């Protein structure tokens, strides 16, 4: 059901979750100080209780009741990036309910850049909001996606299509060196430039997965190699961010990396995503006997706004496979890194087939 802003306020204040628009993806919002409502969001999503939530604020004063020992760098980051797609992990204030942070002693906070979200929060106060999808599925980038996922049972404040389309960058400021726990549109270079200090970026955010993982999967025995040391540090940090340990963003269709022409020999119904050199801009869609090919002309921002819609479209239209052309390496564009991260999380793990077709 679609609701108005004042109905959304009413719902939140009476302890009911409401899906809200942000510039990244839709969030399933509940009042931070309404523990039952927060628990409902976990139940509705089918989200594991050990995966903490992001608290959304509309002004900096709200931060004082949420975080403690706020580092000086926060003011600088807020000036440059808030409202915006940057989530900061900070030491938690004791007023924040433990199940919002899954028992961690830190809390993740962000000020979203969407006028409806800001207006809502300025009336209701801080809101927890995980992405408003069923746990493990692609995030919703439109009100319709939320209605589809929850069969219309969750009230949705419709704020249009999300302008970014990928989740925020999560930056851990609770210890040094500062570390990116989830890559997003705001990249490591931009953060280093504003902070004028080192910010680490684990080399392989995909590391973390899954059902059959063991403790030793995280150990890195070769301490001599500097890159591996950085990785190990990053991986230790990622273990602090439980959300990165689960399979995510996955449609029902199998997702695979595949070189540009291999799709022609693929036999199941296939959705192909290509991104061509920067010769021209825009999206091109063409059909062939096995399915559809989407071509993005080097415009990663545009690709980001459509990735989850393409994943969802593949499921709606019964495609068995989504083939995505690998990005040219080395990747420096932060949107491209974030896209790669989400795609790798979505790649099916439950098959004996190779993950990459060439
Ligand atoms: O763009 C976004 O961030 C969207 C919109 C709705 O704001 N929200 C979102 O929430 O993506 P969610 O719950 O789907 O992802 C939050 C991520 C998870 O990976 C979670 O583990 C991590 O942030 N996280 C939350 N609190 C944390 C904490 N205290 N320490 C480390 N990681 C944390
Ligand atoms: Mg999510």
Q: How many CB atoms lie within 10 A of CB 328?
A: 10
Number of the ligand 1 atom closest to the C-alpha atom of 132: 6
Pocket test for ligand 1, best of 55, 92, 121, 131 (most atoms within 8 A of CB): 131
* Ligand 1: residue whose CA is nearest its atom 31: 241
Tell me, what's the pLDDT at 269?
Answer: 78
Using a 10 angstrom Cβ sphere, with 0-12 exposed, 13-18 middle and 19 or more buried, the burial of residue 330 is: exposed
User: How far does CA 132 lie from the centroid of its chain?
Assistant: 11
Phi, psi at residue 131, to the nearest 5°?
Answer: -60, 140
Ligand 1 pocket, 290 CB below 6 A? no
Q: How many CB atoms lie within 10 A of CB 39?
A: 16
Tell me, what's the pLDDT at 271?
Answer: 86
Residues 171, 106: Cα–Cα separation, whole Å: 12
Contacts of 314 (CB under 8 A, 6+ apart): 251, 252, 253, 271, 322
Contact indicator for 183, 205 with CB cutoff of 8 Å: yes
Tell me, what's the pLDDT at 199?
Answer: 97
Number of the ligand 1 atom closest to the C-alpha atom of 174: 30
CA of 25 to the centre of ligand 2 (A): 9
CA of 29 to the centre of ligand 2 (A): 13
Pocket test for ligand 1, best of 22, 45, 54 (most atoms within 8 A of CB): 54
Contact indicator for 341, 318 with CB cutoff of 8 Å: no
**204-221 tens-digit pLDDT:** 444 333 333 332 232 333
Number of the ligand 1 atom closest to the C-alpha atom of 47: 13
Using a 10 angstrom Cβ sphere, with 0-12 exposed, 13-18 middle and 19 or more buried, the burial of residue 35 is: middle
* Ligand 1: residue whose CA is nearest its atom 20: 243
Pocket test for ligand 1, best of 52, 83, 249 (most atoms within 8 A of CB): 52
Please name which of 208, 168, 215, 207 lies closest in space to residue 187, comparing C-alpha atoms.
168
* Ligand 1: residue whose CA is nearest its atom 13: 130
The bridge status of strand 127-128 relative to strand 54-56 is antiparallel
Ligand 1 pocket, 52 CB below 6 A? yes
Tell me, what's the pLDDT at 186?
Answer: 98
Tell me, what's the pLDDT at 116?
Answer: 98
Helices 73-81, 188-195: axis angle to 10 degrees equals 130
Ligand 1 pocket, 244 CB below 6 A? yes
**151-160 tens-digit pLDDT:** 989 999 999 9
Asked whether the whole model's pTM tops 0.85, one would answer yes
Ligand 1 pocket, 165 CB below 6 A? no
Pocket test for ligand 1, best of 241, 248, 345, 346 (most atoms within 8 A of CB): 241
Ligand 1 pocket, 111 CB below 6 A? no
Query: Which domains, and CATH codes, for the chain?
Result: 254-347 (3.40.50)
Task: List, for the chain, all residue ranges whose pLDDT scores fall below the cut of 50.
Answer: 204-235, 350-358
Tell me, what's the pLDDT at 180?
Answer: 98
Tell me, what's the pLDDT at 295?
Answer: 82
């Amino acid at each position: 059901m679609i609701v108005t802003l004042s109905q959304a306020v009413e719902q939140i204040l009476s302890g009911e979750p409401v899906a809200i628009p942000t510039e990244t993806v839709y969030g399933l919002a509940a009042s931070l100080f309404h523990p039952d409502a927060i628990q409902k969001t976990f139940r509705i999503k089918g989200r594991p209780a050990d995966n903490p939530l992001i608290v959304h604020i509309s002004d900096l004063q709200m931060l004082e009741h949420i975080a403690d020992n706020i580092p000086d760098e926060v003011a600088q980051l807020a000036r440059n990036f808030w409202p915006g797609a940057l989530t900061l992990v900070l030491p938690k204030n004791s007023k924040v309910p433990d199940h919002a942070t899954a028992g961690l002693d830190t809390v993740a906070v962000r000020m979203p850049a969407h006028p409806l979200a800001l207006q809502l929060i300025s009336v209701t106060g801080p809101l927890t909001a995980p992405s408003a999808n069923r746990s493990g599925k692609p995030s919703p980038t439109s009100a319709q996606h939320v209605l589809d996922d929850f069969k219309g049972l969750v009230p949705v404040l419709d704020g249009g299509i999300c302008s970014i389309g990928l989740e925020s960058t999560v930056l851990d400021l609770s210890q040094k060196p500062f570390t990116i726990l989830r890559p997003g549109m705001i990249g490591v270079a931009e953060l280093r430039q504003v902070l004028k200090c080192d910010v680490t970026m684990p080399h392989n955010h995909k590391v973390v997965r899954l059902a059959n993982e063991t403790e030793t999967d995280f150990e890195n025995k070769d301490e001599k190699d500097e890159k591996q040391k950085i990785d190990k540090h990053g991986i230790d940090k990622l273990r602090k961010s439980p959300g990165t340990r689960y399979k995510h963003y996955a449609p029902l269709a199998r997702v695979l990396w595949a070189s540009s022409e291999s799709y022609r020999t693929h036999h199941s119904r296939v959705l192909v995503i290509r991104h061509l050199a920067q010769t021209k801009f825009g999206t091109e869609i063409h059909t062939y006997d096995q399915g559809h090919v989407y071509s993005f002309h080097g415009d990663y921002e545009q690709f980001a706004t459509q990735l989850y819609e393409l994943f969802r479209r593949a499921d709606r239209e019964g495609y068995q496979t989504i083939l995505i052309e690998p990005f040219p390496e080395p990747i420096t564009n932060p949107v491209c890194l974030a896209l790669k991260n989400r795609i790798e999380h979505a790649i099916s793990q439950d098959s004996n087939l190779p993950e990459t077709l060439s």
